[in-house]
Structure 1
Amino acid sequence: MSTVSFSLRATAVAVAVLGAMMGPLPVHAQDSRDGASRPPSGKGSLGFHLQVTEPKGDFAANTNNGFGVGAYVMGALDRNKLLNFRGDLSLVSYANSRRRIPLSGTGGLIQLDLRTTSNIVSVVAGPQLLGPTGTFTPYATALGGFSVFWTESTVEGSQNTNTPFASTTNSSDAVWAYGGAVGSYVLLHRGTNPVRLDLGARFLRHDDARYLTADRVRQAYDANTPVVPVRGRADFITYYLGVNVIAF
């Protein structure tokens, strides 16, 4: 069975299991003012994550792990606040390089830094179902949206870090993204606005993406030729750790 099939089936099974577990919960348990038994979503909540991506399939053969950040908003769709709508935004960088190059015409007296970064921005949304609420609350989410893969090169003075004076977008592609996530909330702070640790994993599939790899960038630099992007499936799992805070 492929990684994609397994991940999608796992998400479907998780949703079904959570639905079965949610059924017998008494309504009064959801109305408690105790932070441990109030749904993490409230009427609306915010989440913030640190993220690590693990490429899968062909994408894994061409790239390494990525690192980045993410945030989401979530709003309740039912009275018990167990069915919610969630929207995610994430940014990860999966390849970075820096090369010291001389400024032409200076005889090597002026040195520049050529930096190249490859990134992915994903914007996805979908329904999220919570399991039994308490100190530990599992959840499952189905997601769909789009991702943008892009690589940019910048030039800056060797002593002027983060102040580039020239930049070029080497490759950019926006593609549809779909998948799901599973995770859990762990209560950290009780009260009117409980704070919970949010730990989970999200799988996103991209059927036909155009992106650059560290090898393609190096080959183009060494040969002084235009860079040629890779094109194909680009799937990855994002592991995230963050917090969920009830906004209202």
Structure 2
Amino acid sequence: MGSPTAVQTIVSAIVAAILAVPAGAQTDAERGAPSGRGSIGIHLQLSEPKGEFGRNTGNGFGVGGYALVRLDPNSIANLRADLSFLTYGMSTRRIPLSGTGGLIQLDLRTTSNIVSFVAGPQLLGPTGMFTPYATALGGFSVFWTSSSIEGSSNQRDSFATTTNASDASLAYGGAVGSYIRVNNGTYPVRIDLGARFLRHDDVRYLNADRVRDAYTNDRPPVPLRGRADFVTYYLGANIIAF
């Protein structure tokens, strides 16, 4: 019985060593989400306007990215900086080129966009496969609408562009979400699912009605002015960069 006992002891020691390696070498990436000293994320985004802004505009879509730097060894307190681009209005009108008798047709494209840069502290909840987080954010957003003229069959190569209206406003709000761990390799990856709310107290912007009115009456568009709040729902990935 001595030999089997010795074998069992050796096997037990090997198993214990194998199990001890992940436990002993457990990285921040395995304990928290995200981890390391810093990470980056990229999102697809869908925006839903609220209040007065919601009555004047519709849903938007776009992309965003952020950088996250931890402030403590456990990655509970972090500093986050977000940059996002949204388009909340788009229209195309076919117009004839003057002097061609309608033989040359052009596309008049108008888009309304928002670029936001916000930053603030982010706190992580309990870590594991799912790790919730909450972020307070502050910064600014730029709202603008532009129109361009392009040929109707030249793959959208515009040859004239005008900014119809633009304005910048302070932005503040917050975000909540969750990291879902999918890979703990050299560069750990997590799915990032969440929602962000931004408030803008006073900003000038154009909507579809004001653009249509300007086109119909052949005059410069008159921007709306007021509070502009919206929620952005996002889905993307977080990658531990360093």
Give CA deviations for 1:37-69 in whole Å, capped at 9, x if unaligned.
233132000000000000000000000000000
- Name the CA distance, whole Å, in 2 between partners of 1:228 and 1:77: 46
The answer on whether the counterparts of 1:36 and 1:135 sit within 8 Å (CA) in structure 2 is: no
Aligned partner of residue 216 in structure 1, secondary structure: helix
- Name the CA distance, whole Å, in 2 between partners of 1:181 and 1:54: 14
- Name the CA distance, whole Å, in 1 between partners of 2:106 and 2:168: 31
Kindly provide the amino acid, as one letter, of the partner of residue 220 in structure 1: A
* Percent of matched pairs sharing the same residue: 69
Instruction: Choose the corresponding residue for 1:188, options 182, 189, 192.
Output: 182
Aligned partner of residue 54 in structure 2, secondary structure: helix
Structure 1 segments unaligned to the other structure (5+ residues): 1-28
1:240 counterpart = 2:226: no
Equivalent in the alignment of 1:118: 112
Equivalent in the alignment of 1:62: 56
1:53 counterpart = 2:47: yes
- Over 3 Å counting, the alpha-carbon distance change for 1:30 and 1:177 in structure 2 is farther
Give CA deviations for 1:57-102 in whole Å, capped at 9, x if unaligned.
0000000000000000010111212111000000000000000000
Kindly provide the amino acid, as one letter, of the partner of residue 112 in structure 2: S
Equivalent in the alignment of 1:216: 210
- Over 3 Å counting, the alpha-carbon distance change for 1:137 and 1:227 in structure 2 is same
1:200 counterpart = 2:194: yes
Aligned partner of residue 58 in structure 1, secondary structure: helix
- Name the CA distance, whole Å, in 1 between partners of 2:220 and 2:28: 61
Q: Equivalent residues in 2 for 1:18-37 (5 A)?
A: 32-33=26-27, 35-37=29-31
Equivalent in the alignment of 2:37: 43
Instruction: Choose the corresponding residue for 1:136, options 125, 130, 133.
Output: 130
Aligned partner of residue 40 in structure 1, secondary structure: coil
- Name the CA distance, whole Å, in 1 between partners of 2:231 and 2:148: 29
Pair member with larger Rg: 2
- Name the CA distance, whole Å, in 2 between partners of 1:89 and 1:38: 24
Give CA deviations for 1:129-161 in whole Å, capped at 9, x if unaligned.
011111000000000000000000000011112
Following superposition, the deviation at residue 36 of structure 1 comes to 3.8
Following superposition, the deviation at residue 162 of structure 1 comes to 2.0
- Name the CA distance, whole Å, in 2 between partners of 1:170 and 1:143: 29
**Matched positions, count:** 220
- Name the CA distance, whole Å, in 2 between partners of 1:124 and 1:30: 38
Instruction: Choose the corresponding residue for 1:169, options 153, 163, 167.
Output: 163
Equivalent in the alignment of 1:145: 139
**Range moving further from structure 2, 188-197 or 165-174:** 188-197
Equivalent in the alignment of 1:99: 93
The answer on whether the counterparts of 2:33 and 2:179 sit within 8 Å (CA) in structure 1 is: no
Structure 2 segments unaligned to the other structure (5+ residues): 1-22
Greater fraction strand: 2
CA RMSD of aligned residues (A): 1.5
Kindly provide the amino acid, as one letter, of the partner of residue 158 in structure 1: S
The answer on whether the counterparts of 2:32 and 2:74 sit within 8 Å (CA) in structure 1 is: no
Aligned partner of residue 187 in structure 2, secondary structure: coil
Task: Report the TM-score when normalising by structure 1.
Answer: 0.86
Kindly provide the amino acid, as one letter, of the partner of residue 245 in structure 1: I
The answer on whether the counterparts of 1:184 and 1:200 sit within 8 Å (CA) in structure 2 is: yes
- Name the CA distance, whole Å, in 2 between partners of 1:69 and 1:41: 23
- Over 3 Å counting, the alpha-carbon distance change for 1:169 and 1:186 in structure 2 is same
